[in-house]
Every structure is written in structure tokens, then in C-alpha cells.
Amino acid sequence: MPIGEQIVAARALLRWDRDELADASGVPASVIEALEASNKEIGTLSQGRILLEAIEAAGVMVFDEGPVDGGPGVRMLRRPTSAIDTDTTQTVQYSEYLENDAPPGAGG
């Protein structure tokens, strides 16, 4: 089960302070501070589960056993902010690139 140090690590990945996590989860910052200082499993506590849900909704996975060494950890699932413009209505597609004009077997 997740422990307080994982909450600290997850906040670091998201670049959130305690107040931002409190806003996202509805759990008071003072409770978050106490849970982070605890070395106990927090996933069984109702407020701990709420924190984990908010963190996972923001794009960070909190896990008990890692894929390599078997230890607990956190992992970014997606970026906290999008720096890439993905508006497909503004995508430019040049007609000369729509058809393959290379001979068969040509690599590139």
C-alpha cells in the first residue's frame, strides 16, 4: 500500500505544492502534511484513497511493487501540462507528401 513518501514524490512529478493537491482532492493541506510525514500505509484510509484518486486523475500512477526491483514507487502517465498544440484543424498537409513517389524497396 502507498506510503506518505510516495505522495511527496507524486506531488513533485506534478509540480504541485500541498495547497494544489488540497484543491484537487478536497483534503485539507494539514491532513496531507500529516499523511506525508507518516510512514504508514495510507491507501486504507479514506482521505488517503481520496488523495490517491486525485493524483491518479492528474496523471501519476502510485504503485506498491515496481516492475524492476519490486519496491513501491510513482510513475508519470502523462504530462501535467501540454506544451504541444494539437489542434488538428490547423494542421497543414502538403499534397506532394500524400502519395509515395519512391520506387519499391526504397528506404528512408
Residue 35 cell numbers, joined = 499523511
**Of 7-16, 27-36, 62-71, the least confident:** 62-71
pTM listed for this prediction: 0.65
Architecture of domain 4-76: Orthogonal Bundle (1.10)
Residues 47, 75, 24, CA angle at the centre, nearest 5°? 35
Predicted confidence (pLDDT) per residue in 12-30, tens digit: 999 999 999 999 999 999 9
Mean pLDDT for all residues in the chain: 79
Pick the more confident residue, 61 or 79: 61
Q: Is the pLDDT of residue 10 over 90?
A: yes
